[in-house]
Each structure stands twice: as structure tokens, then as C-alpha cells.
Structure 1
Amino acid sequence: MSRQTTHTAVMPPPPAEEATRRRRRADPRGHWFLVAILMVLVSGALVFEGYVTGAQGETHAAPPVTAPPSAELRRIWQSGPVLNLTGSKPGSVRLPARTVALTFDDGPDPRWTPQLLDVLKRHGVKATFFAVGAKIAENPELTRRIVAEGHEIGNHTYAHPDLSAIPEWRLRLEVSLTQKVLAGATGRHTRLMRPPYSSTPGSVTAPQLRAMRALGGEGYLVVLTDIDTKDWSRPGAGPILHAATPRRGRGSVIMMHDSGGDRGQTITAVDRLLTLLSERNYRVTTLTAALGMPSAYASAGPGDRLIGAALGLAQRASAAFTGAMSWVLVAAGVLTMARLLFFLVLAWMHVQRVRGGRRRVGRAPAWLSPPPVSVIVPAYNEAVGIEATVRSLVTSDYPGVVEVIVVDDGSTDGTAAIASGLRSPGVRVIERPNGGKPAALNTGIMHASHDILIMVDGDTVFEPATIGHLVRPLGDPQVGAVSGNTKVGNRRGMIGRWQHIEYVIGFNLDRRAFDLLGCMPTVPGAIGAFRRSALASVSGLSLDTLAEDTDLTMAMCRAGWRIVYEENALAWTEAPTSLRQLWRQRYRWCYGTLQAMWKHRRAVVEPGRFGRRCLGYLALFQVVLPLVAPVVDIMAVYSLAINDPLPVVAVWAGFVLVQAFTGWYALRLDRERASVLWVLPLQQFVYRQLMYLVVIQSVATAMLGVRLRWQTISREGTFSTPATRRP
């Protein structure tokens, strides 16, 4: 064995310069506070919107009486529809004869309320609208029109809950919020209140009376009805008209609805009712005017106006955000599903292309004789794995000459001594000061003797046939590099299984598709073969990024070289064994990929497939979608809590099934057991979240201009390679 050792003295930087460099390299942390604030705001917006969506605006039948009524309740049953409950004894009043107060609940509605206002204006009458606060916030202009045209507005709570079924604090909040948004829209408060799901005095229950007592304590005049038309059930304009018509000239408070569903029948019935009442000499006016009372309005203070305006703006913003995120959720699901299916089809096409012996299409021409190969192993503190790596290379069954160059990049754990101690023929160990993996690889390239170069990480083990499989595609002079098939060797434990699935589905399946599309983004550092002339055309490996393999591959694609994937070139690597180690590795990968994408951004406008296909794909699926993934997850939880959970669960289950089928096919192509797929559903709840947090951290680091330091992970040497499986 020949051994060549190089020594280079490097003076350490001055202390002040070193401190400055460390500060510059420090990972950003403040953005996590901003992310947390953003998540709180998103969650708050969804909770607010979920609270508001309780404003359904429908009436239900009163619950049956299960206990003997109190004396006060019996008095309420015999009272008029307008109740004064501010004192110790309830008071009530009825409307004078031939006087009608038309009241409309659950609005304002942008579709039906304007039509109703037009009918009222045509007949020259005024009405009372018991408005839901959430809908006032949604439609402030329409609320102002109601007031401007002389109609009266009453409080109908903010989110239309059953007041008899909620605690008193919630009741007070409901009416207070409605008063504030009314103040924000019109500058006024109202003294009128109608509880949701109420009807005539005779239908009041004991729990409803307790709620109305609380409203009286707040100073409200509680308004029930003489005539409940039940128009919410949409029985037809004729039955609504019949139900709304007062009998024997009696004065009546008539309850109808201008929101909560299709109100076309109600509008038709109101038009006909007003004509009928005019013919019978009824007076139709607002509730307070019918009773000869002062206006229900009171001027709101500037504080309530400001709070109400802000509340309305917040609700509209929440509604817009929720709507937009619903579309994002749909788009993300469709894109992800389409990507899975598309790549599945491309993988099948790739298999049909590369398999089939002599008859397969696109097969590289055979070498006249096996070319000599130089294998470069950059190693930094790889003492636990370097021996297995080197032994797998020197015991290869490749028939040609194999030169192994181990470049020790300033290791402190005796890596160079272990590699030298193997005393294997054809192995050289080069020692150099620590300068990073790209510099170590460039050193190896400079000392390599041959034109076919294979790069392998110091924690990776080749199978005996791997070198031959890597070299074969390079028989085509247009091929500049070959990506091998990386396998996770330490698959025990949940983290190992998750990474095994990711390598097979997310890496190797994708590489089949990229090979077919002619836009391979990465030849992995763990296993790749290169033509020296191709490396020379892009000046070797660059020190510009932390993803030197992605940067190099992108540069070669832009230079016009063809990059292919060789499924049979198997290499076993040690994956991180803890979430912290996994984070460090993926953080470096993601940040380096962002650097490489930015460095090669001009490829988008250059001729060729790489820029338009690959960079667009990476930007969408590896940057944009992971960035919105937290919001998508929150939206999914929101949909489960607010809407019918079955559609959400069905979509999730369908997505997992498609993923499982894709994983089964990918594992089958790689001749792996499909039994590992049982961990796939669990992957959606931990591993996936970790990966998109990595993207968030990486984007924040890049945006802040921080130069990330190399994220090393500790090696344990705990994995072993299965028996060689030949295709």
C-alpha cells in the first residue's frame, strides 16, 4: 500500500475575527417566535371563524316542558310579546289594534335583505330587523342601509346560540359583541333584543326565562312575537301569508326571517301581506313606533365604534383567510396526489425502459474493456465506519482496476490511522487540514489517476457489483454522471423505518422520474460516478453551498451533460438515529438545496429541460408546499372540529392509501419488503411535521442571510448490510 500524506499549516484567525464569524454563522432563532405568533394568529382566525359559523339562522321547536311551571313563567305565558324584565316583576305590552310590527330575524343577508328592503320601500313601510352580530360584521354597508332607510335594528346575539343552553358569561359576550359591531357599522347601540330560537310568550321555557332575565338585567327590552310564521321551514308563499295575517283587527308583532337560507318565499309573502294589510287599513311600522316609545337607538361612544370597526375587520379578514386556506388545502392535496400518481407512472415507464436485457431501450453501449476507476472517499471523523467502507470497495468484483483514495479532512478520531492500518493494495490515504467535504473531494479528484471517478461517503458500504453497475452507463459519452441507489442500513426503530420509506419512495422513486424527464437534481454524495471531463467542464465541486452534490449535479445539467439513475448500483448508508441528528442532517440538506437553487436560478430562462422542469418542481414541492403545510394541518383540524369530520377523514385515508400503494410499488421495484408500510400512517404525525419545520428553518436562515455552518452528525456504526441481492 502506498500512502501519501500532505500537511498544510493554517493560522487560526484573530479572536475578534473568529467571534464575528461565529456570530455570523449562528443559526437564527428569533423567527421561531414569529412562526409561533403566526400560528397563534392563524389558529385565532380559524377559531374566530369557527365561532362565527355558529350563526346558522334557523329556528327549532321549543323543547317539551318537563317540570311544573313557576308562577312567573305562567304570567309570561299570558303576557304580551314585548317584555320588560329589568325589575323584580316582569312587565309586558301588546301592540294597539290594527297595528303591525314586521320583524325579521337572522340577517342582514347580502342576497335577501336588499330584496326585502326594496319591497318595504315600495310599500312605504318600516320594519324591525333583529340582526346577528356576525352578519353585521360581514355586511356593514347593508346594515347602514337598513338604518338610513328608517328601519330599526335589534340585537339577535353575535353567533345565534341558544341562550338557554349557554353560560351567562357567554350570553353577555354575545350581546356585547353585537352591540360593538353595530356601533362600528352605524355608530349606534340598540335597546331591543330578541333571543334566538324564541317564539311566542306561550312557548317560553324556564331556561329561556332565565336567559331573558339576564338580558333584562343588561337593560334590554326583550321582544318575542304574536305571530310566528315559521317561514324558515319554507312551506310556500301562500301558507306564510296565511300564517302572517292578523286576525280580527288585533295588533301583532309578526316574526319572519331575512336570512338563514332561501328566503324567496318570505319576500313574496311580505309583498302580498303588505298589500293586504293596506287594504284592511292596518298601520305597519317599527316596533318602538308602534308602541309610541322613543327610538330604540342610542349613540355609541368612540371607543365602542373603534372596537366594533376593528372587530368587523377582523371577522372579514378571518373569513377571507379561511376561504383562501380552504382553497390552499384543496390545491395542496390535489398537487400532492397528482405528483404521486404522475411520478408513479414515470417510474413504471422508467422500469420498462431500463429493464429487459438486450432489448431494453436506451441501454448504454458496452465498454470494450472495463475502464480503470478511481474511488474517492472524503472522511471526517468516520472512525466507526471507514473500515467497512474501504473493505467493501477493495473486495468489489469489478474486473477493472480500482484505485481507492481516502481523503482525511482533518479528522480528530483517528480515521486516517484506521484507513492506513488496513494495508489494502490500491488504497491511498491523503491527510489534509479540515476544509469541508467539497475541498476534500477536489483534493481526491486532483490525486486520482483515472478518468472514471466514483465518490462515496465514509459511512457508506458498496455491494460487490455496485462499481460495475455505476460504470456501465458511462459507456454513453453523453452521460456525465450516474446516481446510484442509496439504502438505509440501520432500519431498526421508528426513525430508521421512516427514513427507509423516504429513501425508497421520496428519493429513489423520484430519481427514476427525473432520469426519464432528463432533469436529475442530485447525484447523492453517498454514491455517484462521474466522468472527469464532465467535472472539469464545471470546474469541479464548488464551495458555494452546503449541498455540494446538488450544486455539482445542477451545474452539470446546465452544461448539457446527461445524468442518469442506475437502480442496481446499491450502497448502504447509516441514517441518523435520533430526531436531533435527523434535524441537523436535513437542515443542512435543505439549506444547501436552497443555496443551489438560488445559485442556478438563471437556468429557468436557459434552453434545456433542467431549469423549467427541475427548479420549478423543487420550488413548488420542496419549498412552497412545506411552508404552507403547518397552515394546511391546522385547517384540517379546523375542518374536523367545525364541519362534518367524515369527509376530512375520508380524504386523509384516501391519501394514505395512495401513498401506501405508491410505497408498495416503490418497494417492489427496489426488491424490498412491503411490511414496513405499517409505519406510513404514523409518519404523517411526526416525521412530516419535522420535515416542514426543517424547511421553515432553512428558508428563514437563507432570508436572513446567515451562512449556515456544516451540520455534522455522529456515527454509531450500528448498521449492517443484508445479503447481496443481484437483479
Structure 2
Amino acid sequence: MALHAARRDPRAHWLLLLLGLAVLLAALSLHAVVTGMAGGSGPSAAYASPAPPEATAGGPVLRLDRAKPVTRRMPTRTIALTFDDGPDPRWTPQVLDVLRRHHAHATFFVVGARVNAHPELVRRILAEGHELGSHSFTHTDLGEAPPWRAELELSLTRKAIAAATGREATLLRPPFSSTVSAMTDLQYDALRAAARTGHVAVLADLDSNDWRRPGAPAIVRAATPQGGRGAVVLMHDGGGDRSQTVAALDRLLPRLTGQGYRFATVSQGIGALDSTVEAGLATRFSGTALRWAQSGAAGLAAVMNGLLGVALVLGLARLAVQVVCAQVHVRRVRRPKRHRPPVDAPVSVIVPAYNEAANIAATVRSLVASAYPALEVIVVDDGSSDGTADIVERMRLRGVRVIRQANAGKPAALNTGIRAARADLLVLVDGDTVFQPDTVGRLVQGFADPTVGAISGNTKVANRRRLLGRWQHLEYVIGFNLDRRMYDVLRCMPTIPGAIGAFRRQVLVGVGGVPSDTLAEDTDLTMKVLRAGWRVTYEESAIAWTEAPSSLRQLWRQRYRWCYGTLQAMWKHRGSLREPGTGGRLGRRGLPYLTVFQVVLPLTAPAVDVFALYGLVFLPWTKLAVAWLGLLLLQGFTAAYALRLDRERFGPLWTLPFQQLVYRQVMYLVVVQSVVTAVIGNRLRWQRMVRTGEAAALVEV
């Protein structure tokens, strides 16, 4: 298709589309990282070496910004309860309630991503006199992470806390750590690197192992110091089911308080100043931006999940409606009809032709060979430069007329043929289409019903030897002819294809002939017929063989014009939404169906593909494979059912998986391009598809 793009060039939308998809993928990835976190303690590196003795032999509070570690311990009968992996909207409030009930304070090592998700809980922690520390942003093992990742984890957590509270936390407990004696050399190196950014490491004297959920009594035993010693006790308020932790805490606090223990924050326990400091404006601002980004990513993920759910429901509903309507259509076709005399009135076949030298001879021969008794063929040469009209004239076939005119476009050529036709029943045929001998006779029998104004035939792809042809063959059988059965039953047929359609002359005259103000003149004309009060039906046994595009470039041009023209026709006939009768059925059945399945869902398809790419990286492959195979089987069932209805072989079904990987993307990008072209107001110009004559050769063979 050529574009009149002197004023506005729509190509920038591809850059915007790629940018939008990249942002979507980044947002989904962020959401996957911040929501795929687990909890727990203990070193994750099974074969890591222990940390230096000067660190593991000291206390659990470590300053590592000097040449040698400086460690501190809790005084006698002083316990610093510490909680990791929060804040959690379910368990953190319960832990805080227990602490408040027993007048105890604790230190919470929070995960930055969860701080962004629940900032109100972090503010409550500080408001009730507790202390905050960092537990990384995504609960990653800082010892195993590369240095840049570890630094980023701590920086993002600091910003998240600053955005929520206005303060920065300097205490740090690395994920998957436990007691100071269990510290590994990798964790030690990570903590020394963190010390250079002002962090003070806090490990534990006692690990309650509550994350293993051993039961409240076992947790209480593990968290109880021996001999009145002070201790930093490791517990969890997030990362899993912490009901046992809450129950154990409610027993531990009164028991140890009765033994003379006091419960303090880490800083209070060692007699240090408040570990949090006032955050700078830049840190708070960047933290707020980070929280917005995380919230936006969560919203996008929810939208994508909802979109996929809606698309799946719509797809299943569409299939169900198609199958039900197809069965109704089959029964209607097989049902004995009321006795009506066969239609044998004269028929004029009109063939608009512009540079159709490759196929025109086969087209005209197939029409002349028709078994229909009273037939004239009118070939309207629309200013061809390849001798199309000369080819037809040299054939000297009886009943064939050639009309030459200056190039004025397909609608004008059709209208010229309509004016010249002698019969009251008209069949409009593209110049690359080949009929079977019984096609015309089968096509016009529906006119025995006086309410029928137009009839659609069954278009089939002739050149299906190559992969692209097989894909289009499946699309014609599934997407076009299966839909036409449904439209016929619902009495809202929006399109009679230009390749094969029959009309009463009075209908065409009544609607003003073939319209020329849209690029989908066949869709526009069919909608006008419906709005004029006539029935439009589908005759599956009237078969026309057509040549489909043989390259992706040609396919793009054809579908771009089809899609853009369909959008024009839908907008032009939007008034049918308020009409009664057949026009209202078009407006309230046909147009919504076209809008959803030919515009809206294809527009969302790029985002669905990005979601699939995200799934390959972040979702379990087994679930993704099962989902993909399930959808493929559903599509395969639909295709097999449609092929069976059309009495076609099942052989092309093997190409269906590959169709989803290439052809589908071309089709939805066509819709994107068409919508953008329509929105920005550019006009698309008709440009014919290059014909090879392959379809005619295949049919003749």
C-alpha cells in the first residue's frame, strides 16, 4: 500500500511501540523479582568457607569499616529480638501487637521491595519505638551476588526506607545469614563491602529456626539464652506462614521477663545512638520514584493477568458460539427445504480487471465453463497496461463482453459492469478468481427467498503448496468461512468477499452501487445492503479459488488495505447501532464482534507476546509449556473442525504451531499500523497485489 504521507509520517509509532513493549517487559521483570522472594535463614552456599576467626569469634554486631573487625555483644539479661523478611501485611501487625502488649521493643530487618509495598507498616514500626535495619531489596544472597548487584540491593533498600519514613537505616543483616559463628567468607566479604557505605552488620547469637515451623515450644526453646546471657535472637515476621512465630513470641516475652530479662533494640542493647539518620531530599525523592515504579509494575502485571484472562474467556466464548452456530448452519443446510422452483434466471458475472494478465484467461474460462444455463460475462478492463483486455478479446468466447475504461479504481469498474449488465442477478468476481462449474448455480439458489438481497460464496486459497499459502488457507477456513457460518445464523454478515458474491440488481441500485469512499468496498457494500433491510446469507457449496499473496510483503499490503478499509466501513456504519431490523443486527452483533476480535484483541497481542517472553524467563517452564500446548490444542481443534466442515484435508494442521510464531505477529502488526494510520488521519491508497498466475495453474492442474 502506498501512503499519502506528506503531512504526517506514522513510522514513529513503531519506535513508540518498541519502547512501550520494552518498558512493559522491564516492569514485568521488576514485578517478578520483587514478588518471587522467599524467606529463611542459614547460609545458601553449601560449600563456602568460614569467615575469619576474628569475626566469627566475636559478638553479633560488627563494624567492618576498619582494618580489623570490631564486634559488640548484648549485656547480661538483655535480649534484642530481631525480625527478618518483613514487613508482611498479615504477620507484622500481629508481631507488633504482641510486642506492644508486653511492652517490648525489637529490631526489624526489612526487605526493600516489601517496604515499598507496605510503607505504612514501616512507619508503624518506628512510631512504636522499634528499630529498622536493611535486609536487602529482593532478599538476595549478598555473598553470592556480584558486587554491583549487592551494592544496588542495599542502595535501593535505603531509598525505599527513606521514602516511607524520611530516615535511612544503617543496620544490615544479609539474607540467608544466621549466627555469627556460621558466617561464611562470602558473607564476610559482602559485609565488608557494605561497611564502606556506612552499614553496620547484625547477625545473631540464637537462631530460632522459626522459618522451619518446628512448633511454638521448639521456637521458644531455641530463642531462650542460657545462664542469663544476653543475646541477639533471630526470628521472622515475613516470608511465609509465621503463625508459630507469633504464638512463640507471646510465650517467650512473659517467660523471660519473669526471669529478669529486658527486651531492647540492637542499638539500645549495646548502648549506641539511634541507628537511623535523617534522609536527604534526593534519597527520599528517588525512593518515592522507586515505589511508584514498583507499584506501577504491580499494576501492569495485574492488568496483563486480567487481559490474558479476558482474552481466554473471549476466545473460548467465541469458539463456543462458532461451533454452535456452525452446527445450526449445517442442520439448516441439510434440512429439507420447502418446495421452491430452482433459480435459473439469467445471471451477469462482472469481472473488474486491472493488470490481471496472469489470471484473467483462467478466470474467464472457468466462468464460461459454468453449468449454469443463462450466463453472460462482462470483463471491465480498468485501464490495464499489461494487455488484460486484449487477452480476453483474443479468446473470442461466446457470452463474454469486454468493456474498456480509463483507470478509475475497482468500485468504478464494478459500477460500469453493473450498468452494462442485462440480468437482474449479478455475480461480482475478482480477476484472479477461478470458479468451479457448479459455483454460479449453487451461489444464486438462495435468491429463491425473496428476502435475500445478497449471498456470499466460499473463498478458498488455491496456491497453498508453500508454507505461507498453507497459513492463509487455514486462516480462510477458520477465520473467514467459520465466521461466515456464524454471521449467517446471527443474520449480521458484515462482508461478502470481492472474490465471490451475488446480488440482486435492485439491491445494488437501491444502495447506490458499489461505494468508493472506503478501501474495503466489499465490506462497505455488504453493510449498506444490511442497513437497507435485506438479508445476506452464506452458501458454503459455492466455491471460488483465489490466488493468495505469495510473499510476506504482498500479504502485508493486502491485509493492511483490508484492515484499514474495514475500520473505515465500521466507522461509516456506526449509526447501525441504533437501527432496527437487519441494520440493528449488524450494529449490535456484527460491529462489536469485529471491534473485539479484529481490532481490540490484535492491538493487545504485542503485550501478550511480551508477557510470554517474560514467562520464559521468570515462570516455571512446565506451566508455560502446558498453557501453550493447551492453547495450541484448542486452536488445533478449531482448525480441524473448520476443515471438516469445509471438507478439506487435515494435512495443513502441522503448520499451525509455526503460524503462531510468524503469521500471527504479521497480522497483529497490520492492525497496529492500520489503527495508527486511521488515528493520525493519513489516507491509504489502493495498490493492487502482484499476480503470478500460480493459482490459475494449480486449479487447471
TM-score range relative to shorter protein: over 0.9
Match of 1:6 in 2: none
Amino acid aligned to 1:631: A
Match of 1:634 in 2: 610
Task: Decide which moves more: 247-256 or 210-219.
Answer: 210-219
CA contact (8 A) 2:452 2:535 kept: yes
Amino acid aligned to 1:385: N
The match for 1:296 among 275, 283, 292 is 275
Query: d(CA) in 2 for partners of 1:142 and 1:341?
Result: 48
CA contact (8 A) 2:142 2:174 kept: yes
Query: d(CA) in 2 for partners of 1:64 and 1:45?
Result: 33
Q: Percent identity?
A: 57
Question: Quick check: 1:674 aligned with 2:647?
Answer: no
Match of 1:56 in 2: 38
Give the superposition deviation at 1:478: 0.9
Distance change in 2, residues 1:587/1:246 (3 Å): same
Counterpart secondary structure, 2:695: coil
The match for 2:14 among 32, 36, 46 is 32
Amino acid aligned to 1:698: S
Question: Quick check: 1:546 aligned with 2:519?
Answer: yes
Match of 1:159 in 2: 138
CA contact (8 A) 1:54 1:160 kept: no
Query: d(CA) in 1 for partners of 2:97 and 2:463?
Result: 74
Give 1:301-380 correspondences, 5 Å limit: 301-355=280-334, 360=335, 365-367=340-342, 370-380=344-354
Query: d(CA) in 2 for partners of 1:162 and 1:409?
Result: 73
Distance change in 2, residues 1:716/1:724 (3 Å): closer
Task: Decide which moves more: 535-544 or 222-231.
Answer: 535-544
Distance change in 2, residues 1:38/1:160 (3 Å): same
Amino acid aligned to 1:593: T
Query: d(CA) in 1 for partners of 2:512 and 2:97?
Result: 77
Counterpart secondary structure, 2:536: strand
Question: Quick check: 1:710 aligned with 2:683?
Answer: no
Query: d(CA) in 1 for partners of 2:620 and 2:173?
Result: 30
Give 1:164-563 correspondences, 5 Å limit: 164-355=143-334, 360=335, 365-367=340-342, 370-399=344-373, 401-563=374-536
CA contact (8 A) 2:73 2:230 kept: yes
CA contact (8 A) 1:364 1:476 kept: no
Distance change in 2, residues 1:723/1:543 (3 Å): closer
Give the superposition deviation at 1:517: 1.5
Give the superposition deviation at 1:637: 2.3
Amino acid aligned to 2:21: M
Amino acid aligned to 1:152: E
Task: Decide which moves more: 126-135 or 415-424.
Answer: 415-424
Task: Decide which moves more: 564-573 or 331-340.
Answer: 331-340
Give the superposition deviation at 1:501: 0.8
CA contact (8 A) 2:111 2:135 kept: yes
Query: d(CA) in 1 for partners of 2:221 and 2:154?
Result: 33
Query: d(CA) in 2 for partners of 1:167 and 1:363?
Result: 81
Query: d(CA) in 2 for partners of 1:113 and 1:344?
Result: 52
Distance change in 2, residues 1:633/1:546 (3 Å): same
CA contact (8 A) 1:24 1:707 kept: no
Cα RMSD (Å) = 2.0
Question: Quick check: 1:81 aligned with 2:60?
Answer: yes
Distance change in 2, residues 1:653/1:599 (3 Å): same
TM-score normalised by length of structure 2: 0.96
Task: Decide which moves more: 117-126 or 710-719.
Answer: 117-126
Match of 2:71 in 1: 92
Query: d(CA) in 1 for partners of 2:666 and 2:656?
Result: 15
Query: d(CA) in 1 for partners of 2:227 and 2:162?
Result: 40
Distance change in 2, residues 1:516/1:152 (3 Å): same
Distance change in 2, residues 1:240/1:622 (3 Å): same
Distance change in 2, residues 1:455/1:237 (3 Å): same
Give the superposition deviation at 1:66: 6.5
Amino acid aligned to 1:125: A
Amino acid aligned to 2:670: V
Counterpart secondary structure, 1:129: strand
Cα shift readout 1:67-123 (whole Å, capped 9, x = no counterpart): 6x5xx6233332211111111211211100111111111111122212222222222
Amino acid aligned to 1:238: P
Task: Decide which moves more: 512-521 or 209-218.
Answer: 209-218
Match of 1:143 in 2: 122
Counterpart secondary structure, 2:219: helix
Give the superposition deviation at 1:148: 2.2
Cα shift readout 1:214-263 (whole Å, capped 9, x = no counterpart): 22233211110111111112222222222222222111111111111122
Give the superposition deviation at 1:643: 2.0
Distance change in 2, residues 1:30/1:65 (3 Å): closer
Give the superposition deviation at 1:24: 5.4
Question: Quick check: 1:590 aligned with 2:548?
Answer: no
CA contact (8 A) 2:110 2:135 kept: yes
Distance change in 2, residues 1:244/1:366 (3 Å): farther
CA contact (8 A) 1:547 1:596 kept: yes
Match of 2:108 in 1: 129
CA contact (8 A) 2:59 2:180 kept: yes
Query: d(CA) in 1 for partners of 2:76 and 2:644?
Result: 85
Counterpart secondary structure, 2:503: strand
Query: d(CA) in 1 for partners of 2:568 and 2:214?
Result: 66
CA contact (8 A) 2:605 2:668 kept: yes
Match of 1:611 in 2: 587
Amino acid aligned to 1:49: H
Task: Decide which moves more: 704-713 or 507-516.
Answer: 704-713
Match of 1:44 in 2: 26
CA contact (8 A) 1:26 1:708 kept: no
Give the superposition deviation at 1:724: 9.4
Match of 1:13 in 2: none
Amino acid aligned to 2:357: A
Cα shift readout 1:12-38 (whole Å, capped 9, x = no counterpart): xxxxxxx9x943587621211211121
CA contact (8 A) 1:133 1:179 kept: yes
Match of 1:107 in 2: 86
Counterpart secondary structure, 2:161: helix
Aligned positions, number: 697
Task: Decide which moves more: 410-419 or 22-31.
Answer: 22-31
Give the superposition deviation at 1:640: 3.0
CA contact (8 A) 1:396 1:463 kept: yes
Distance change in 2, residues 1:594/1:569 (3 Å): same
Query: d(CA) in 1 for partners of 2:262 and 2:406?
Result: 99
Cα shift readout 1:105-153 (whole Å, capped 9, x = no counterpart): 1111122212222222222222111010111111122222222222211
Query: d(CA) in 1 for partners of 2:155 and 2:32?
Result: 19
Structure 1: where are the runs of 5+ without partners?
Answer: 1-18
Query: d(CA) in 2 for partners of 1:536 and 1:58?
Result: 79
Give the superposition deviation at 1:498: 0.4
Distance change in 2, residues 1:404/1:64 (3 Å): closer
Distance change in 2, residues 1:64/1:43 (3 Å): closer
Query: d(CA) in 2 for partners of 1:498 and 1:627?
Result: 21
Match of 2:551 in 1: 578
